[in-house]
Amino acid sequence: MMKTLLGLLLCLLASTPSLAAEREHVLGFGGFFFKANDQQALIAWYEEHLGVKRTPSTYEEEPWQQQGGTTIFGVFAQSSTYFGDPEQQWMINFRVRDLDAMVAQLQAAGIEVDVDPNTYPNGRFARLEDPEGNPIQLWQEYKITPPEHEQVSPSS
């Protein structure tokens, strides 16, 4: 009886996909979609001030290509005020090469930008709102490198 149960268990395990088998996962963001009161004005604002190219109107047009890099997928408590207005359900974060240059460019265009005075291990941040009051965070990423004693040398 024990051999029969062991045999059945082995057959079952052999026919079940491994728990350690790699599962499919998303590759990254394919788009960010939201509603606007003045769709055309907001599209133009993002394109002019942040360089986010408008959605192509034909399949022959090239869509906006973002530069590869770190993406944070953060889920906040419903009670969070991190996005500003407690009713706000989302905030977008854009990576920038040079935060100071981007802030200066936006301010020269008359856009109010609040630069966080703190520097964090992962970078520097600034906040602004688009013309409809949607929160935007700008992030100049700093690459975090492990302490020297934790780094693996190429010859190891």
Residues written for the chain: 156
CA distances from 52 to 16, 27, 31, 62, 64 (A): 46, 20, 11, 12, 6
Is the pLDDT at 5 greater than 50? The verdict is no
Closest CA to 133 of 12, 35, 18, 40: 35
What phi and psi, each to the nearest 5 degrees, are found at residue 2? -65, -40
pLDDT confidence of 144, banded at 50, 70, 90?
Answer: confident
For residue 55, how many other CB atoms are within 10 A of its CB?
11
Task: Report the share of the chain in percent with pLDDT over 70.
Answer: 80
Predicted TM-score (pTM) of this structure: 0.76
Cα end-to-end distance, the chain, whole Å:
51
pLDDT confidence of 60, banded at 50, 70, 90?
Answer: very high
Looking up tokens 């009051």, which residue turns up? 133
Cβ–Cβ under 8 Å, residues 107 and 84: no
Looking at the chain, which runs of residues are DSSP E strands?
A: 92-95, 114-115, 123-129, 135-141
- pLDDT, residue 125, reads 97
What phi and psi, each to the nearest 5 degrees, are found at residue 76? -105, 155
pLDDT tens figures, 87-141: 899 999 999 999 999 999 999 999 999 999 999 999 999 999 999 999 999 999 9
How much is the mean pLDDT over the chain? 85
- pLDDT, residue 11, reads 54
Cβ–Cβ under 8 Å, residues 96 and 138: yes
What is the 3-state secondary structure of 107-118?
A: HHCCCCCEECCC
